[in-house]
Structure 1
Amino acid sequence: MDKRILLLTDFSKNALNAALYALDLYSDRVCSFYILNTYGVDGFSIDGSAYTRPGQSSHDIAKSETEIRFKNFMQMLRMHSDNSKHTYETIASYDSLLDGVKKVVAKKDIDIIIMGTKGMTGSRTVLFGMNTVNVMEKVTECPVLAVPEDIKFRRPKEIVFPTDYKKPFKRRELKYLITIAQMHNTSIQVLHVMESNELSESQEDNKELLKRIFKEVGHSFHELEGASVNSEINAFIDKRNSAMVAFVNYKRNFFSKLISRPLVRDLGYQSRVPVLVLRNRT
């Protein structure tokens, strides 16, 4: 069965880089790529300049410019990879980013969204731009993979999966992490940054459950002691040269803490490895 992948673009260098990463990540799979650009809702062009041409509506101007940019964007994708297993469909939506994404996810039955962590208007002082954070937090129908600026694809030797073992795991929420691991013969490194010397009974049960869920892929368990979650995850990823990190996005829980502005600024590792946000639908 083919994978149905939504790529988000504002035609920036970073959006192109994320799209190229996606093509390489799924190079051995039959995929339908849907490439979405949203434009014009606020009366401004994609790059922030106002529409001023006489005799044309902002909608018409934006649509025309988007069509031209899509042609150039697709040329660069095909120059990078002329893969017979991949098909493409471009979608221009006169909508907000979040509304446009939700409509395409529902209509096209999307498996995963892949996007860059910063766009054309992104500040270099913010690792996760607001658009990326909104998609990560508010699109609950499928996983999201955020690819940092200038990261080039390398076959992931291992994926780091931080957890506090405080919530029971479900196979369906970890399915996509397992799929990516199986695609590239990748091991999953479960990382627990210890808050105390011993796990509670419920934490032990959740750890055992995770072992059963990951039985089909290579995996190992690690425990680290440290004063802060961010520094320990950062050090672990750096030491092992890991290629990706994955989280389950529980509401107001682990991932919400990680994408708060002060912690993101301190954390730093998001600028070096792609971040896979998995969905919890309880």
Structure 2
Amino acid sequence: MQKRILIPTDYSKNAFNAIVYAFKLFENEACVFHIFHSYFLSRSAQGNLLFPEPEPHEYDEAARASGESMIRLKNKVEQFADNPKHTLYFDHKFGTLIELLKEKVLQENINLIVMGTRGITDDIKVAYGRNSVNVMENIGACAVLAVPANVLYKQINEIVFPSNFKSHFNTREIDIFVKIAQLEKSPIRILHIGKEANLSEKQRNNRKEIEGYFEGLEYTYHWLEDTGVKEGVLSFVDERNSGMIAFVNRKHWFFGSIFSNPLVKSLGIHSKVPIFALHDSRN
């Protein structure tokens, strides 16, 4: 079955890098790629007399500029996108990013969103830009893969999967995560912060459930004690030079403080590790 992958773009180099990464990651898979841009006039949402509604010609100009940029992007992508397994669609639409992505995910039955971690601002002081974090936290209908700006595709040596063994998995999302591990022949390192002996019966049952999902894959368990969850994950990944972090995201759990934490800057983790965010099925 073809994978249906949505790649938001703001026409930046970081967004283009995410396109290239996705094409190479799924090089041997039949995929339909939807490359999509949302454009918006901030004044149209102000609802304030001090910020009058934009004139019709301003909307027209925004649509024209977006269309021209999309044509340039399409021409650039088609110079290297010659994979017969891949079908490409390009589209742009007026509206807010999150609402349009939700709409697109449902309309096209999207399996995965792939996006760059920073946009046109390219602020090197910000680990994960506002848009990428918002998408990971607010698009609940499919998994999201966020690709750092300076990460070029290479085979993923291992995927670190931190778990407290309390999450409920979305089967559709875990399936594409497993597919990536299979495609890359990537072992999965299941990381738990705490003692194995302290797991509750429910956690032990959920652990068995994870093993069922990962049947046929190479995976190992790793236990860290006397450390915070976020610090432990980042240190583990940095020490092993792991190729990806995958986790079940509960809103504000991973991104609420970790990417404003000085630890991230000291490890430089955000600059080299793609993040694969799944969703707890209870969200």
TM-score by length of 1: 0.87
Match of 2:35 in 1: 35
Residue type of the alignment partner of 2:254:
L
Q: Does 1:177 align with 2:177?
A: yes
Distance 2:221 2:156 in 1: 18
Q: Considering only aligned residues, what root-mean-square deviation do their CA atoms show, in Å? A: 2.2
Match of 2:92 in 1: 92
1:42: how far off?
Answer: 1.8
Distance 1:96 1:169 in 2: 28
Question: What are the equivalent positions in structure 2 for 1:214-253 lying under 5 Å apart?
Answer: 214-250=214-250, 252=251
Q: Deviations over 1:17-76 (max 9, x none)?
A: 1111001011111111111111133259xxxxxxxxxx9712211121112211221233
Match of 1:72 in 2: 72
Q: Does 1:257 align with 2:253?
A: yes
Q: Tell whether the 8 Å contact from 1:110 to 1:142 is kept in structure 2 after alignment.
A: yes
Secondary structure of the structure 2 residue equivalent to 1:257:
coil
Closer, same or farther: CA 88–172 of 1 in aligned 2, 3 Å: closer
Residue type of the alignment partner of 2:165:
Y
Secondary structure of the structure 1 residue equivalent to 2:11:
coil
Question: What are the equivalent positions in structure 2 for 1:3-22 lying under 5 Å apart?
Answer: 3-22=3-22
Closer, same or farther: CA 169–141 of 1 in aligned 2, 3 Å: closer
Residue type of the alignment partner of 1:7:
I
Distance 1:34 1:141 in 2: 16
Q: Tell whether the 8 Å contact from 1:169 to 1:206 is kept in structure 2 after alignment.
A: no
Distance 1:241 1:70 in 2: 36
Residue type of the alignment partner of 2:227:
A
Secondary structure of the structure 2 residue equivalent to 1:80:
coil
Match of 1:116 in 2: 116
Q: Does 1:60 align with 2:56?
A: no
Residue type of the alignment partner of 2:9:
T
Q: Does 1:165 align with 2:165?
A: yes
Distance 1:170 1:74 in 2: 33
TM-score by length of 2: 0.87
Residue type of the alignment partner of 1:110:
I
Q: Which runs of 5+ in 2 are unaligned?
A: 45-54
Match of 1:151 in 2: 151
Match of 1:200 in 2: 200
Match of 2:48 in 1: none
Secondary structure of the structure 1 residue equivalent to 2:276:
strand
Q: Tell whether the 8 Å contact from 2:111 to 2:173 is kept in structure 1 after alignment.
A: no
1:78: how far off?
Answer: 2.6
Deviates more, 1:123-132 or 1:75-84: 75-84
Q: Tell whether the 8 Å contact from 2:37 to 2:92 is kept in structure 1 after alignment.
A: yes
Secondary structure of the structure 2 residue equivalent to 1:146:
strand
Q: Which runs of 5+ in 1 are unaligned?
A: 45-54
Closer, same or farther: CA 111–225 of 1 in aligned 2, 3 Å: same
1:214: how far off?
Answer: 1.1
Distance 1:173 1:18 in 2: 19
Q: Tell whether the 8 Å contact from 1:143 to 1:277 is kept in structure 2 after alignment.
A: yes
Deviates more, 1:264-273 or 1:110-119: 264-273
Q: Tell whether the 8 Å contact from 1:190 to 1:220 is kept in structure 2 after alignment.
A: yes
1:97: how far off?
Answer: 0.5
Task: Tell me the matched-pair count.
Answer: 268
Q: Tell whether the 8 Å contact from 2:196 to 2:223 is kept in structure 1 after alignment.
A: no
1:205: how far off?
Answer: 2.3
Q: Tell whether the 8 Å contact from 1:257 to 1:263 is kept in structure 2 after alignment.
A: no
